[in-house]
Structures are given as C-alpha cells and as structure tokens.
C-alpha cells in the first residue's frame, strides 16, 4: 500500500482545484487516535509504579524484583523499537498499531491472573513487545499525514502527550487502587488498548514504505543482546556489588556488544540505525536530550512513588494526586516551547528547560520524611516546567533534521532514545536507591529472618513494623537522595551537551 501524502487540494467540478476542507478534521482525528495509542503504552511505564507497595506485599517481591517488574517492560520496549519500527514502515503503520495494541491488550489480560513476581516480570516483557510496535507507528503516522507547515504543532501535541501520560497514568492508577487491587491497573490497559484499536480501525489511514531495504537482523540481535546484558547487570548490581566480577563482567560484555552493533551498522549496506546520522548536530542534540531527560524522568517516578507511600504513608490515590503540580506545568510548558523556539531559537528555551529540570531533581534530593508537601509541590512545578520546555524542541530537532523520506528513521530514533533512557534511568536510579537503602540500613540485635525481610525492600520492612521500619525509612530516604542527585547530574550533562552541540555556526533556527 502506498504511503500517505500530505493532502493539498481536491478536484472540483470543471477541473479546477479547491481546498480540501475536510483535511483538518481528518488530521485532528488521526492525531487524537494516535495520541490515545501513545498514551496507552506510555502510561504503562509509570502507572504500575504507584502499585509497587501493594505488589511487594501480595507477591513478596524484593527491591530488585520490583525494579525488574517495572524495567522488563521498558527494556523490551526499547530493545525492539528499531526492528519494530522498520517492520511498521515496511508492512504498514496501521497494521503495526493494530498488532501492537492486540499484543498489549492480551498481555495485560494475562497479567491480571499472575500471582508471582517472576510471572509478572515475564508478562511485562510481553507488553513491551506490543508497545514497541505501537510507539514508532504513532509518530511516523503523524509526520507522514500532516503537511510540513503543521507538523511542528502536531509533534508538540505528541510530545506533550508522551510526557503527561506518565503523570496521568500514575493518577488514574492511584484512583483505581483506592477501590481495587493492583490488577485493576492491567484492566485499564485492556480497555485503553481496545478503544485505541477501534479508533485505528475506523479513522487511521494506512501508510507504509514498501520499498524498504532488507531488515538488518544481525543489528537487531546485537542491540537486543547488548541492551539486555547491560541493563541486567545494572539492576542486579546491588545484589552482587557494584565492583563485583559479575557486575563488571556483565557491564563490560554489554558495552562490547553495543560497540559491535555500532561497528556492524557502519559496515552493513542496510543498517538498522546508521551511526553517521549523529554527525548532524541537531539530530545528535535531540537524541542526547531525549535519552537523558527520560533517564531522569522515569527513574524519578519509580523512586518517588515508593517514597510517597512507604516513607510518608500516603495512600495510592494521595500519592498519585501529589504528582499533579508536575502535570500542571509540563503540559503548558510543552505548548509554550514551540512559540519560544520560534521567537528565540531552539537553544535558549531548550537549555533553560534542562537546567530547570536538573535544579528540580537536585532540590528533591534534599527531601526527607518530614518535608512538608507544599515544598514538594513547588519542586514538582519547577521539574514539570523544565521537562515541558525541553521535550518538544528535542523531538522536533530529530524529526526536522532528516528529510521526509527518512521520517520513519527519525521517529524510531526519538522513540529509542526515550525508551532506552527510561529503561536505563529506572535501572540506574533504582540500583542507586537499592544500594543506598541496604548500605544505610543497620539492624543490630534484630533477628536474622526479620533483618533479611527488611533488607529485601522497604515494602517488606513495613510488614515488620516497629523500630525496624523507622530505620528502614531513614535508609530509604538516604538511598533516594543518592539516586535523585545522580539524576540531576545526568540532566545537567544533557544541558551542557545541547548547549555545545547547538552553539552558533550560522543560523540557529
């Protein structure tokens, strides 16, 4: 099936051309449906975070297993994005959306029946397969449907949904957990996937690039293996020790495989991702910024939900509602960012947004169990505004850096940077949290069985109660501070990188 072309004019009787007045309506419908599909898979990365305390209690999952329950989805999602995006380009993005939503919905239905952390990890990985088919198809559908003069606005909506869905997912999940168990979060996934699939069937046109080169299977295997080994080593590091031979060997092997992936992509005739694209400074800046923003963003949500519920004692709903100040500035910031970019150029609002986000995370690294909520809300406002300003120019830089014929590549790289950053953020910040928690948890005189339970996770320490819980909460706050300070440093690195890559060498815009 041929690719969708931007509509321009329709033939009127007598052979004259008239404007296609229905085009804006079709564009709006496509944008709404693709953004619903996007929100479905993005919210699944964050919504389960609010259920972690109840999952820990019901399944007896330890802190490392909790990291895997969240990151199994993100890791598979990220690792399969490039091959899944290539399949969507070749066989049709509408088909990819339908297939991905079906896998995602079916996997969520299965997750509702699980009762062990191992099974839940496996099912979350299956959901990642479906999400990998969905996400690149959403942005590629938008960029292939909208004319260039309207594309920046549509991409800013896509970026706002991509950012806000994480917060909205947490809020909706918290509401569900007030009345039902954590399994209701997966029921929500089923319903959203069904509605999105129906919308795709009814209103989204097919678009494809059938004359695609052969799929780079070697590259796909290398990137999946490299990312898998690297993330596994990071998540398991607190268990074995950051300097242990197991951690160092696993991290080294993962990095070597990824270096092999780059080497293979440079020499093959039909690369899955051509590393030469990163010679384009705007493309490189956008990819770096997206990866490091979402490294901090999803790692932050993973840490914050446990802090609010297990340290401050908030209910699931109250913890979710506590996130609203971030959404209240993230979405307006995302809509304001293109206007500031048009007036000031991309560099200034982009770097300012990253610096604001870094400041927000640094401030959050100073909280403890007694910090009043108004201070938390003020910090969330700063963090949301920073992320809102920084996300749209990063995504636009990636899509605008490549011609229309390579928009599928741009979409895949944007999605890969986002999901890979999120997966690594959850792994790294989660591991820093776990290492800090265990390193600061001293339980002299506590029976071995109770001490082992408390060291496994703060959720387990809650069931122990008493002085053990007080010590565990203090240790968790210490680990949280380490993790968020690390996240702040990463976003600051992104700000410096973008500022350097976009330094003036001619017209900035």
**Cα–Cα distance between 139 and 146 in angstroms, integer?**
11
Count Cβ atoms below 10 Å from residue 277 Cβ, excluding itself: 18
Residue 140, phi then psi, degrees to nearest 5:
-65, -35
**pLDDT given at position 25:** 61
Distance, in Å, from the CA atom of 11 to the CA atom of 247, rounded to the nearest integer, reads: 65
Helix H or strand E segment including 428: helix 407-440
Whats the size of the chain, residue-wise?
A: 509
Say what the pLDDT of residue 504 is: 63
User: What are residue 378's phi and psi, to 5 degrees?
Assistant: -65, -40
For residue 8, what pLDDT is reported? 40
pLDDT at 508: 41
Q: According to the model, what pLDDT value does residue 407 have? A: 65
* Three-state secondary-structure class, residue 18: strand
The overall pTM is greater than 0.85: no
Assess contact for 72 and 128: CB atoms under 8 A: yes
How many CB atoms neighbour CB 24 within 10 A? 11
Please name the helix (run of DSSP H) or strand (run of DSSP E) that holds residue 19, with its range, or none: strand 17-19
Identify the three-state secondary structure at position 11: strand
Contact 424, 295 (CB under 8 A): yes
Q: What is the pLDDT along the chain (509 residues), one digit of tens a residue?
A: 333 333 344 444 444 434 444 566 677 788 888 889 999 998 887 788 788 888 888 888 777 788 888 888 888 887 787 788 778 777 788 889 999 999 999 999 999 988 888 899 999 999 999 998 998 888 878 877 777 767 677 877 877 787 678 778 888 888 888 888 888 889 999 999 999 999 888 888 787 666 667 778 888 889 888 888 888 888 777 777 778 888 889 889 989 999 999 999 899 888 877 888 888 888 888 899 999 988 988 889 888 888 998 888 888 888 888 888 887 888 788 777 778 777 877 778 888 899 999 999 999 999 988 899 999 999 999 998 998 888 888 888 887 777 766 666 677 788 788 878 887 888 888 888 888 888 888 777 777 777 777 777 777 777 777 788 888 888 889 999 999 999 999 999 999 998 898 886 544 44
* 89, 408 contact by CB (below 8 A): yes
**Considering Cα of 252, then 240, then 124, then 296, what sign does the dihedral take?**
negative
Q: Are 187 and 175 in contact (CB under 8 A)?
A: no
pLDDT score of 24: 62
456-493 burial: b if 16+ Cβ within 10 Å, else e = bbbbbbbebeeebbebbbbbbbbbbbbbbebbbebbbe
Give the pLDDT confidence score for residue 123 in this predicted structure: 93
């Amino acid at each position: 099936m041929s690719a969708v072309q931007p509509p321009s004019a329709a033939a009127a009787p007598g052979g004259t051309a008239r404007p296609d007045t229905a085009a804006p309506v079709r564009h709006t419908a496509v944008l709404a449906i693709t953004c619903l599909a996007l929100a479905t898979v993005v919210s699944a990365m964050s919504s389960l975070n609010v259920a972690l305390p109840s999952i820990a209690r019901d399944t007896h999952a330890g802190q490392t297993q909790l990291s895997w329950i969240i990151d199994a989805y993100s890791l598979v999602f990220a690792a399969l994005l490039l091959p899944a995006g290539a399949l969507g380009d070749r066989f049709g993005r509408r088909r990819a959306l339908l297939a991905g939503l079906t896998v995602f919905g079916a996997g969520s239905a299965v997750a509702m029946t699980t009762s062990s952390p191992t099974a839940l990890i496996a099912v979350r990985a299956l959901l990642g397969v479906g999400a990998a088919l969905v996400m690149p198809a959403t942005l590629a559908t938008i960029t292939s449907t909208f004319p260039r003069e309207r594309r920046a606005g549509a991409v800013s909506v896509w970026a706002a949904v991509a950012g806000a869905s994480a917060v909205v997912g947490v809020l909706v999940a918290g509401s569900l957990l007030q009345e039902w168990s954590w399994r209701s979060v997966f029921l929500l996934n089923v319903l959203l996937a069904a509605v999105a699939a129906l919308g795709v069937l009814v209103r989204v046109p097919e678009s494809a690039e059938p004359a695609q080169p052969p799929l780079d299977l070697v590259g796909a295997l290398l990137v999946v293996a490299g990312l898998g080994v690297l993330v596994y080593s990071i998540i398991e590091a607190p268990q074995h020790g950051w300097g242990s031979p197991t951690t160092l060997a696993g991290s080294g092997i993962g990095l070597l495989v990824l270096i092999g992936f780059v080497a293979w992509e440079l020499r093959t005739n039909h690369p899955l991702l051509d590393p030469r694209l990163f010679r384009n400074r705007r493309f490189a800046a956008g990819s770096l910024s997206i990866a490091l923003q979402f490294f901090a963003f999803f790692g932050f949500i993973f840490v914050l939900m446990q802090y609010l519920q297990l340290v401050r004692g908030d209910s699931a709903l109250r913890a979710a509602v506590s996130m609203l100040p971030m959404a209240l500035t993230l979405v307006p910031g995302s809509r304001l960012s293109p206007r500031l970019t048009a007036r000031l150029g991309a560099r200034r609002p982009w770097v300012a947004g990253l610096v604001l986000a870094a400041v927000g995370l640094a401030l959050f690294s100073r909280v403890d169990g007694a910090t009043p909520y108004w201070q938390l809300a003020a910090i969330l406002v700063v963090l949301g505004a920073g992320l809102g300003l920084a996300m749209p120019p990063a995504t636009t830089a990636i899509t605008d850096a490549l011609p229309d014929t390579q928009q599928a590549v741009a979409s895949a790289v944007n999605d890969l940077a986002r999901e890979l950053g999120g997966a690594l953020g959850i792994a790294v910040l989660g591991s820093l949290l776990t290492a800090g928690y265990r390193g600061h948890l001293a339980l002299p005189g506590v029976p071995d069985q109770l001490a082992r339970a408390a060291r496994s996770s703060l959720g387990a320490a809650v069931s122990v109660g008493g002085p053990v819980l007080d010590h565990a909460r203090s240790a968790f706050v210490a680990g949280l501070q380490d993790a968020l300070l690390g996240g702040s440093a990463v976003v600051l690195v992104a700000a410096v990188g973008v500022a350097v890559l976009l330094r003036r060498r001619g017209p900035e815009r």
